[in-house]
Amino acid sequence: MRCVVTGAAGFIGSHLGEHLLEHGHDVVGIDCLTDYYEPRIKEANLGPLQGHPRFTLHREDLLTAPLPDLFAGADTVYHLAGQPGVRPSWGAHFADYAVRNVLATQRVLEAARSVELGKLVYASSSSVYGNAETYPTVETLRPQPVSPYGVTKLAGEHLCELYRMGFGVPTASLRLFTVYGPRQRPDMAFSRLVSAAVHGTRFELYGEGTQTRDFTFVADVVRAMSDVARSDFTGVANIGGGSRTSMNEVIDIVSGLAGSIEVHRLPTQRGDVRDTAADTRVAFEGFGYVPTVSLTEGLASMVEAERLAGVAA
């Protein structure tokens, strides 16, 4: 099958590309390597994909790329490209969030109308919930984002639902809960924490460390994406890791795996939610989703990857 992956050079997109190639698919990647974080990191993410005979990369912006041509003959479009990051989405930065998360998604959906897709999988976000009223949180709870980023991810999701119901585009929006694993974005907590433990640098902790997240290993996420593409499921589903852990607990686990960490405390950041926890029954019933990687296993794989990168450098 032919698959399109937008955001193929990113953290999750590069893992998804590898997974799809391993399972025998042809993969067309689209990514313009934005400078949200260093593009050379994204070049490195592409390393395992480039050179594969069934992978092609179009280094183009979704805002201007000839999407109907790129989508022609595709069975699935995985739409992961976007401006990530909860905390920097305030003020003047919001324009990038509006353009890359809302306008780009609308352009993807317009192009999807012109081709016969089996599925359009959209990487939505737990940030749509804000500080949810109940945990674990179900998809039917009214979303109340507390960051501009969350507002744009919710707008993208609403657009998917609109094109699904209005034009029959078979969209599946997966609300991903804090994804981690090797190649995690450098602005995210675990990549910084593992780097601090392995290299003996300082970790800046926002708040008291009592905030909790339903952390989800990237291999579980890419499997959920490819499974939903092959299922009849359309609509919105949570994808979580199966447990809820505080940052203080995570710091203890990483210290145990890689050595003690110097923690420098900073205030809670604007836009951060207090807690997240996914009710994943919709994903289980819709396409058999069950998370398989425990937090300790997943963190151990990050520590190993960080050590190997240090040896290779």
- Of 269, 265, 267, 258, the closest CA to residue 196 belongs to 258
- Min. distance of Cβ 248 from ligand UGA in angstroms? 10
Per CB under 6 A, the list member of 7, 10, 85, 145 interacting with ligand UGA is 85
Instruction: Determine the 3-state secondary structure of 298 from DSSP.
Output: helix
How many amino acids of this chain bind ligand UGA (CB under 6 A)? 21
- Helix and strand counts by DSSP (H, E) for the chain: 11, 13
- Verify binding: residue 42, ligand NAD, rule CB under 6 A: yes
Q: Binding pattern to ligand NAD, positions 47-86, x when CB under 6 A?
A: --------------xxx----------------xxx-x--
- Min. distance of Cβ 122 from ligand UGA in angstroms? 13
Q: Binding pattern to ligand UGA, positions 230-249, x when CB under 6 A?
A: -----------------x--
Per CB under 6 A, the list member of 3, 4, 5, 7 interacting with ligand NAD is 7
Q: DSSP states of 109-133 as a string?
A: HHHHHTS--SEEEEEEEGGGSSS-S
DSSP state of 271: T
- Min. distance of Cβ 249 from ligand NAD in angstroms? 18
Per CB under 6 A, the list member of 4, 5, 11, 236 interacting with ligand NAD is 11
Give CA–CA dist 8/89, Å, rounded. Answer: 22
DSSP state of 144: -
Q: Which residues are catalytic?
A: 149
- Verify binding: residue 177, ligand UGA, rule CB under 6 A: yes
Which helix (H) or strand (E) segment is 272 a member of? none
- Min. distance of Cβ 129 from ligand NAD in angstroms? 11
Q: Which is nearer to ligand UGA, 115 or 221 (CB)?
A: 221
CB neighbourhood size of 297 (10 A): 10
- Verify binding: residue 116, ligand UGA, rule CB under 6 A: no
Per CB under 6 A, the list member of 115, 121, 123, 169 interacting with ligand NAD is 123
Q: DSSP states of 42-95 as a string?
A: HHHHHTTTTT-TTEEEE---TTTS-HHHHHTT-SEEEE--S---SGGGSGGGHH
- Verify binding: residue 25, ligand UGA, rule CB under 6 A: no
Q: Which is nearer to ligand NAD, 94 or 311 (CB)?
A: 94
- Contact assessment for residue 87 and residue 272, using Cβ atoms and an 8 Å cutoff: yes
Q: How do strand 212-213 and strand 245-246 relate by DSSP bridges?
A: antiparallel
- Token pair, residue 261, equals 């960490």
**At CA 191, angle to CA 14 and CA 33, rounded to 5?**
40
Q: Which is nearer to ligand UGA, 2 or 206 (CB)?
A: 206
Q: Which is nearer to ligand UGA, 111 or 295 (CB)?
A: 295
Per CB under 6 A, the list member of 74, 189, 228, 239 interacting with ligand UGA is 189
Of ligand UGA, ligand NAD, none, which one sits near residue 100, judging by CB under 5 to 8 A according to partner kind? ligand NAD
> What are the two backbone dihedrals, phi and then psi, of residue 296, each rounded to the nearest 5 degrees?
-65, -40
CB neighbourhood size of 243 (10 A): 15
Which residues of this chain interact with ligand NAD, rule CB under 6 A? Answer: 7, 9-13, 30-34, 36, 42, 61-63, 80-82, 84, 100, 104, 123, 125, 153, 176, 178-179, 185
Which residues of this chain interact with ligand UGA, rule CB under 6 A? Answer: 84-86, 125-127, 176-178, 188-190, 192, 204-206, 211, 213, 247, 269, 272
